[in-house]
Amino acid sequence: MNGFKKEIIVSADDLDDLNHVNNVRYVQWIQDISKEHWQAKASSQMQEEVIWVVLSHHIEYKNAAVLNDPIIISTFIESSSGAKSVRIVEMHHGISKKLLVRASTEWVLLNSESYRPVRIPEEIKEIFL
């Protein structure tokens, strides 16, 4: 499995009224790392020909993160079939290693001109193995 990861530090802008990371911010980070993984692995030609859009998110919030916490965000493709792909994103506390968030997102691949679903080609599947 060809995963991708990065570390972030929680800032004041990431917090909600309870001084925990806001759920909306977690969704943004899920979107961000997914896009970064695609851009890091896919050729420019692939990125011009197709786009990914979200069909659904399933997010489990396990533990809270607060100001200045380091968070390790990792992602990988769990499965692909037809035009759909399931991407897993996990966020762990950078020091305690506790799982903070686990998300399973179903994406669909679209032709970048017609916006119609297209079967995921083998060359795209291979870059995420």
> Are 47 and 109 contacting, i.e. CB atoms less than 8 angstroms apart?
no
Residue 49's nearest CA partner among 106, 116, 92, 112 is 112
Residue 97's nearest CA partner among 74, 77, 120, 114 is 74
Residue 32, φ and ψ in degrees, nearest 5: -60, -50
What is the model's pLDDT at position 111? 98
pTM: 0.95
What is the model's pLDDT at position 129? 80
What is the model's pLDDT at position 89? 98
In this prediction, the residues of the chain whose per-residue pLDDT falls under 70 are 1
Q: Which amino acid is at 120?
A: I
Question: pLDDT above 70 covers what percent of the chain?
Answer: 99
**CATH class given for the domain over 4-127:** alpha beta
Residue-wise pLDDT for 11-39, tens only, equals 999 999 999 999 999 999 999 999 999 99
> Are 15 and 67 contacting, i.e. CB atoms less than 8 angstroms apart?
yes
What is the model's pLDDT at position 108? 98
> Are 78 and 104 contacting, i.e. CB atoms less than 8 angstroms apart?
yes
